[in-house]
C-alpha cells in the first residue's frame, strides 16, 4: 500500500504495479521544495507502469502509454515529468488529421537513482543504477549506471 501525502490523481486504462513503501508527496506540507502540482499518474490502454519498492515521488507526473519501469529506492525531486510518448506526431499534417503516428518508447530507471527537481525524462530513456540527474535537466538519451548527468539536454558531468 503506497503512502500518499495530499492527493494522488490516477487515470488508469492499463496496468499499474506499485511496490511496498512507495511514497507520493502532493502537498506543500509534505515536501517544502516548492511543489507546483500534485502527483499524477496516467496509464493508457496497453500501458504498463511498474514502480519498485521504497521509491519516492514529490509532485511528479507520470504518463505511460507503453511502459515505464522504476526500480527500488528511486527518489524524484519536486515537479519531475516522466513521459514515454511524444503525445502528438511531429509531422504537422498528421497533427491536422488527428493523432495517428504518435511515437512512444519504454522508459527504464534502475535502482537507487536520484532525479533532481524540475527534470524531464523523455521516451526511450534508460537510466542505470545509482545514477543522478541534476535539477532542471532534460534527459533525452540513456544514462549509464553510476554517472551524474545534468543540463538541457542532459550530458555527463562525472562518473560516480
Catalytic residue among 23, 50, 69, 88: 88
Kindly state the helix (H) or strand (E) to which residue 95 belongs, with its residue range: helix 92-97
Catalytic residue status for 88:
yes
Q: Where on the phi/psi map is residue 146: left (φ > 0), alpha (ψ -120 to 50), or beta?
A: left
Q: Which residues of 18-55 are buried (b: 16+ CB within 10 A; e: fewer)?
A: bbeebbbbbeeebbebebeebbbbbbbeebbbbbbebb
* Residues noted as catalytic: 88
Amino acid at each position: 500500500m503506497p503512502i500518499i501525502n495530499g492527493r494522488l490523481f490516477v487515470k488508469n486504462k492499463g496496468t499499474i504495479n506499485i511496490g511496498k513503501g512507495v511514497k507520493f508527496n502532493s502537498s506543500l506540507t509534505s515536501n517544502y521544495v516548492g511543489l507546483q502540482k500534485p502527483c499524477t499518474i496516467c496509464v493508457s490502454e496497453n500501458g504498463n507502469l511498474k514502480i519498485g519498492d521504497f521509491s519516492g515521488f514529490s509532485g511528479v507526473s507520470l504518463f505511460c502509454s507503453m511502459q515505464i519501469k522504476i526500480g527500488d529506492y528511486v527518489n524524484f525531486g519536486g515537479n519531475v515529468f516522466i513521459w514515454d510518448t511524444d503525445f502528438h506526431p511531429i509531422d504537422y499534417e498528421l497533427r491536422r488529421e488527428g493523432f495517428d503516428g504518435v511515437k512512444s518508447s519504454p522508459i527504464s530507471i534502475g535502482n537507487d537513482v536520484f532525479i533532481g527537481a524540475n527534470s524531464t525524462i523523455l521516451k526511450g530513456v534508460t537510466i542505470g543504477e545509482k545514477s543522478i540527474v541534476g535539477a532542471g535537466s532534460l534527459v533525452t538519451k540513456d544514462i549509464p549506471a553510476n554517472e551524474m548527468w545534468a543540463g538541457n539536454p542532459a550530458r555527463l558531468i562525472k562518473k560516480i
